[in-house]
Amino acid sequence: MLVLALATAFSASFGLVMRYALARNRNLWAVGALNYGTAALFHLLRHALGGGHAPSQSTWVVGLLGGMAYVTAYLLYFPLMAMRGVSVSTAIVRLSALIPVVVSVVVWGEQPSTQQVLGALLALASLPLLSFSPGIRGERLPGRATALLMALFLANGLCLLAVRGYSQTGVAGEESWFLAILFGMAAVIATGAYALHGERASWGDLLPGMGLGVCNALGNLLLVMALGQLPGFLVFPFQAAVGLALSAVVARLVWGERISRLETAGMAVAVVAVVFMNVR
């Protein structure tokens, strides 16, 4: 569980660094390209230091498709965040854990115990509570925001599914190859999007871009490792619920954000969920 806890911490850190970039009006197109470039270089260097053979065909396929999903999710994430705020966007990202959870059970035949099923359901149930925002209650989403929201849900679910898919291929020892291909593909597309957008980058974009890249590189490596030790129906709800709760606590301590009663209740439910998910 230590590997999963670390993967969750880096996943939560990604959102917090993103918030830092938004608060300082960084060029998020440039930040995205730097992010994926940094993560790709990290895993290329890791592979070079560790040695090993060329990647298998399945690693190439899953990595390239995963890279497309990752950059698509990023390019949907920040415009939705600008329209609807951090809470709604982050909630959709976390709720997309439903996609790999369902696929893990239905397609790959994972068999959870009764207690673990209850824990996973509690984790998923905690997400709407953790993402509650009093300022948007009862407010109808405009059509464009609704479309972005649905697209982000699907794209981020496919991101998680790509990582789960790699662990399911049975190819061992190609984690850095897989992630280098994934982030390399994302970097190429993100760089092209930045160039087409035309907004010039500045030195201030370097720190958040590289910070996001480190969070991505380590968080996804640890996620792959966690999926090698634990079933997906436990990994994804845990990361979603605990990551969102951790983000809320850090935002409260660092930026003084108010945590509502429902968000507090969501954190309590997430803690109970973690206990149940560890019962075999």
Cα(222)–Cα(203) distance, rounded to whole angstroms? 30
Distance in angstroms (rounded) separating the CA atoms of residues 18 and 212: 7
What is the Cβ-side half-sphere exposure of residue 183, based on CA atoms within 13 angstroms? 29
Asked whether residue 139 carries a pLDDT value surpassing 50, the answer given is no
Average pLDDT rounded to a whole number, residues 266-278: 69
pTM of the model: 0.82
Residue pair 135/84 in contact (Cβ under 8 Å)? The answer is no
Which residue do the tokens 């990595």 mark? 63
Model confidence band, residue 132 (pLDDT cutoffs 50, 70, 90): low
Number of domains making up the chain: 1
pLDDT tens, position by position, 12-29: 888 788 878 888 889 999
pLDDT digits (tens, 9 = 90+) for 56-110: 999 999 999 999 999 999 999 878 776 765 666 676 777 787 788 888 888 888 7
pLDDT surpassing 70 at residue 142: no
Q: Tell me the backbone φ, ψ of residue 23, rounded to 5 degrees.
A: -65, -25
Overall average pLDDT of the 124-137 stretch: 58
Average of per-residue pLDDT across 145-170: 86
**Radius of gyration of the chain, Cα coordinates, nearest whole angstrom:** 18
User: How many residues comprise the chain?
Assistant: 280
Q: What is the pLDDT of residues 190-229, one digit of tens each?
A: 999 999 988 889 999 999 999 999 999 999 999 999 998 8
- Helices 28-50 & 206-229 angle (0-180, nearest 10): 50
| Res 179 pLDDT > 90 | yes
pLDDT tens-digit map of 241-262: 787 778 777 777 776 766 667 7
Tell me the C-alpha to C-alpha distance, in Å, between residue 264 and each of 66, 128, 144, 237.
34, 12, 31, 18
Per the structure, the complete domain to which residue 29 belongs is given by 2-277
